[in-house]
Amino acid sequence: MSEVKKEGTSGSPLNNGAAGRVDGSFVSREEHSQRHFERTCVWIFDLDNTLYPAACNLFAEVDVRMTEFIAQQLGVPMAYARHLQKSYYKQFGTTLSGLMRVHKFDPQPFLDYVHNIDLSVIDEAPELAAAIEALPGRKLIYTNGSHRHAERVAEKLGVLHLFEDICDIAACEFVAKPDPDAFNRMMRRHNVGAVEAAMFEDMPPNLEAPHMLGMTTVLVQPDHEDHPAHVQIRRWETPPEHIHHTTDDLARFLEDIQTQASKTAPGSNPTEQI
How far CA 181 is from CA of 61, 95, 213, 273, in Å, comes to: 29, 19, 11, 31
Q: How confident is the model at residue 91 (pLDDT cuts 50, 70, 90)?
A: confident
Provide mean pLDDT across the span 72-101.
92
Residue 10 reports pLDDT greater than 70: no
| pLDDT score, position 54 | 86
- CATH number, domain with residue 71: 1.10.150.450
Provide mean pLDDT across the span 172-193.
95
Q: Which domain holds residue 77?
A: 59-114
Q: Using an 8 Å Cβ cutoff, are 127 and 31 in contact?
A: no
- CATH number, domain with residue 178: 3.40.50.1000
Residue 13 reports pLDDT greater than 90: no
DSSP string, 37-79: STT--EEEE--TTTTS-GGG-THHHHHHHHHHHHHHHHT--HH
Q: How confident is the model at residue 32 (pLDDT cuts 50, 70, 90)?
A: very low
Cβ density class 211-241: b for 16+ within 10 Å, e for less: bbbbbbbbbbbbeeebbebbeebeeeeebee
Per residue in 239-252, pLDDT (tens digit) is 889 999 999 999 99
Same domain, yes or no: 69 and 143: no
Q: Which of 251, 245, 274, 248 is nearest to 261 (CA)?
A: 274
More confident residue, 26 or 134: 134
| pLDDT score, position 221 | 86
Report yes or no on 212 lying in a domain: yes
Provide mean pLDDT across the span 30-38.
63
Q: How far apart are CA 165 and CA 172, in angstroms?
A: 13
| pLDDT score, position 78 | 98
